Chains A and B, each alone.
Chain A
């Protein structure tokens, strides 16, 4: 037992050191690394309710976009009139000082984490009463409706978009912006990992699994399923909001349907990454997100224009041929590594039956 823990310790400290050193080692890829962190956070937290709870949501993009708009709005609104900011568009009449910028983004991220969590709690009771594909379609509708509605609201830029405050010009170091966002996202990633890891060792996860496997029976066993479902969704919403806030600052421009409530990209990516790595595992979404990101970045530039076609084909191939994901495949291949003991006689009998 002690030996295993030591192994874990080495692994985690190694990963953290790698994470901290990454922006200096690959300083040209800082933005990509930030993306990777955000993608991992999204996949990991989607997995919490998609993989563990069995509620496949297409609508977590709602919280992501909400977080993005909230961070930017708070960051601007704390110091300047928001309506005038969005009206002036690209031409900046207001400039954040360094202190204002960091105060703004700090408070903004706080709001971006809390408000989506509350929203998830508020709509959770209504939405999570739906099951299976109805839940999936309903959340898909929610995500798209949010994008369409945000595209009609004047104060956050409506159809022409919302420029987030630029990084303070007083910081001359050109590396600073990339490093700031990278470490911010890495911090969120570590937070999310610690949180998810904690959940994986808790009773809460067992309850979520019970809900996934058979909700009626779980209820019959005396579990207040609705309560746990809502809490599960709120956990996802918390991190989605944070991730969205960071991405808003990083991209520097928020469009209602193409950046914030981007169901066609981020909304699908998070589902796809979790499935690619393996739903319902701790490391699956992390591996899935990393692979997906490398694949995407490696291939996108070579097949410019065709990337959506490739994405669509990728979705079909993954979903149709690898619905269990990488971890599921490994699990089938090396079951003993996952702590599963297989009775050889029983397995042979099963094979003969087939």
Chain B
């Protein structure tokens, strides 16, 4: 009997130790990548002093820059380059091969081999540090200060931003190292047929117009005017995306000003600001314009419901658009419109680049030139961004139909945090527990509860948030400037 007990103890001990093994890898990737980036940075620093000169004077790098490169001059250029990317679906369905074939019609002597990497975010980082990955890749999450070590400067930020959108995300010290292959814009999803049936002829531009339209949907159709997706949680956090550019037209607000703002949730009185973003939700709940039982919403089910016209509107980013279209038989009814808030007569749209093309800093000059030709062709001539349903990267380029309603809106993307303040927003989010754009789902859920049950009025919720924000600023010693 004693032996039995002992063996059971031993066996369970082994299970415990196994379980412990299972949990360790979670922490290691971050640590190991950190370590590897460091060593790689050291190597390349000794390897090439070239990286330094590139950083100092990008325009001199063989006089290669995105804006000055004229595609027509390089029709006979010959080289062989390799492109690694994350779009495994497009690699498999032949879209990528078709685009390369199209490219080779104009540049017959440039051979492009492509490779789609599953689990891109991690694998690409590992490959990047080995140095032997090819000539073009979608830039993974590297530190901006390391950009010059790995990637060729494409142009100055000033030059590029004249012709392209969203190029600032991989720029450092005024030099751009990446160009997004496509971009996403934040608006909200609606069903066109429901809107037509409800008698809505023009899309709402303000919070009050939107709420009136929701009422029309409720009165005139059987559809749920606004589906909150309360139960899934993270879908509620999506409301945070409209704080900043969309609600006040200021692209420095989210990453620079918010942390220094006193009472960011106060009512500005003109129908703008974060106050009115969340007020839409509160009022919709208070007026019964949401689903009957918000606690049992079903994320997978809602896609088909929007497609079929059982839901009028849903507040989610543009990435959700394609999923809603695929979820049913009437994709033509799925629409996308700017968030209904107008600031000083203008509707603003927050948009940002997806993965960026980056060119290997350690490739031969020949390959660098060919890679830049390829990137420029992909950006300007391939229509890839358009076909993926992305917001145009080229200024004045054509947008997919889903963005038709965005004409006339001002599109912006958030600027980076000021130097030395990069961590402020994270700290404030954690300390205040509001976690704006960082998983603060429960605070938005509470708005739904308060609105639907009438347990608390909206102004007092916003007062609470302001108080939390102020307390956090005091606790962290962050200066109040605005």
A and B bind: no
Name B's A-contacting residues (CB within 8 A): none
Name A's B-contacting residues (CB within 8 A): none
